Amino acid sequence: MRKVCVIGVGMTKFGEHWEHGFREMVVEAGVRALDDANLHGEELEAGFIGTMASGRLIGQEHIGALIADYMGLNPIPITRVEGACASGSLAFRQGYTAVASGMHDIVVVGGVEKMTDLGVNEVSDILGGAGDQEWELFLGATFPGLYALMAKRHMLDYGTTEEMMAAAAVKNHKHGAKNKYAQYQNEITIEQVLKSKMIADPLKILDCSPITDGAAAVILAPMDIAKKYTEKPIEILASAQASDTIALHSRESLTGLRATQVAAKKAFETAKLQPKDIDVAEVHDCFTIAELMAIEDLGFFKKGEGGKATLDGRTALDGEVAVNTSGGLKSCGHPVGATGVKQIVELAWQLRGDKETEGRQRKDAKIGLAHNVGGSGATAVVHILKGA
């Protein structure tokens, strides 16, 4: 398999884009990525797009063809990939495989979701389709409820506190406040999180990622060609994906995601690296407890120590590993299909030392990790990237 690089990235602002449609957002992110790679559309050979629920959210399936059309890219093949909130990273993985295999040279990968055209209850029901519809959603278990169960068990087993969880949100808002693409660009305090409205005990509204519109795109090329387009190609050292039971009640443990553990192990083996080698990581903080579990499951901290590590600032910009410099899902926003691709956009900026990360640049960032989860952990995807 060939070495594959990210040679261009772009994204829309994440937020409530009532004035922008699904199609416009994809085009905006795609054009920015092409500009960033100094590419014209006709140089693209194929594309992959991650979107979770366009059928239910906007009545439109067949998103790959739609995007080929609206990006002016016909007749090149563009394929939609779906894995709930991990759809974006799965699309990235297909793009990686297509280039690594030699099937295509230059490939675009996008992620998009248009979520705010519907009411919050309807969106919550649609997102429930990421879990077990028959055995969870149908019986009333929405995602805040499922993650609340994990949080309660983590608190019981390891003494994790609500303050520790809140610390993840506070850190991520601190980063998001410096990110002009973020949905929420305001800092918050631990006290504000603790006093915010209860959603599913112990998770309060400021423990939860929001409902968001947005799109992100990246351009991939094999290493030898990449250098024609950029002085700073970002190499993909590893791509790993794993599955777990779709329903939470079938798992052996509620305090970690096995799919993350399996995918991380494989990714580190492939990259011949260890958790301590990672400078900057975008992890899947759909809820604050998810970030705490992620930094444990990825091997940055021992199981049960993620909460204290977060409270102690060990995942801050100047910590042992800078986690969610984009603001994460919590502050940057979570347009579900776009999130996995946005993580790659942020890592590319960090590893290049791009001006986009001003005020939230991890010093001397060389190795980055992206961690994207589908549902309550039935899919996990881990990518490891290296700066030039």
**Least Cβ distance, residue 18 to its own copies (angstroms):** 16
Closest CB 323 distance from its own copies, rounded Å: 24
* Crossing angle for the helix pair 162-176 and 288-297, to the nearest 10 degrees: 90
Alpha-carbon distances of 254 from 153, 157, 230, 330, rounded to whole Å: 7, 10, 44, 21
282, 276 contact by CB (below 8 A):
no
Identify which of 368, 39, 18, 94 has the alpha carbon closest to the alpha carbon of residue 225.
39
Among 97, 124, 192, 196, binds its own copies (CB under 8 A): 97
x/- mask, its own copies, residues 27-56, rule CB under 8 A, reads -------------------------xx-xx
Which CB atom, from 128 or from 176, has the smaller least distance to its own copies? Answer: 128
Residue 334, classed as helix, strand or coil, is coil
Using the rule CB under 8 A, is 208 a contact of its own copies?
no
Tokens 């960032």 label which residue? 365
Q: Does 189 bind its own copies (CB under 8 A)?
A: no
> Is 59 one of the binding residues for its own copies (CB under 8 A)?
yes
Edge to edge, the sheet with strand 280-282 lists: 46-50, 107-113, 214-222, 4-11, 234-243, 379-386, 367-374, 280-282, 322-323
Does residue 142 bind its own copies (CB under 8 A)?
Answer: no
- Helix residue spans in 212-287 (DSSP H): 223-229, 258-271
Q: Specify the residue, 38 or 101, whose C-beta has the smaller distance to its own copies.
A: 101
Does residue 262 belong to the site contacting its own copies (CB under 8 A)? yes
85 is a catalytic site residue: yes
Stretch that binds its own copies, among 78-86, 192-200, 293-301, 357-365 (CB under 8 A): 78-86
Nearest to 332 by CA among 13, 35, 57: 13
Catalytic residue among 175, 334, 371, 383: 334
If the CB atoms of residues 192 and 243 are measured against its own copies, the closer one turns out to be: 243
The catalytic position among 85, 208, 286, 332 is 85
Query: β-strand 280-282 against 198-200: which pairing, if any?
Result: unpaired
156 lines the binding site for its own copies (CB under 8 A): no
Q: Is 379 in the site for its own copies (CB under 8 A)?
A: yes
Q: Among 97-105, 227-235, 283-291, 304-312, which window interacts with its own copies (CB under 8 A)?
A: 97-105
Nearest residue (CB) to its own copies, 145 versus 176: 145
Per the listing, tokens 């351009």 go with 219
User: Rounded to the nearest whole angstrom, what is the least distance from the CB of residue 295 to its own copies in the complex?
Assistant: 20
Among the listed residues 292, 264, 252, the one whose alpha carbon sits nearest the alpha carbon of residue 370: 264
DSSP 106-145: SEEEEEEE--TTS-HHHHHHHHGGGS-TTTTGGGT--HHH
Burial of 186 (0-12, 13-18, 19+ CB in 10 A): exposed
Contact range with its own copies by CB under 8 A, out of 189-197, 240-248, 288-296, 343-351: 240-248
Stretch that binds its own copies, among 33-41, 76-84, 154-162, 271-279 (CB under 8 A): 76-84
3-state secondary structure of 93: helix
> Does 224 engage in binding with its own copies (CB under 8 A)?
no
- Rounded CA gap, 75 and 85, in Å? 28
Chain contacts with its own copies (rule: CB under 8 A): 1, 52-53, 55-56, 58-66, 68-69, 73-84, 90, 93-94, 97-98, 100-103, 126, 128-134, 137-138, 241-247, 250, 258-259, 262, 374-375, 378-379
Active centre residues (catalytic): 85, 334
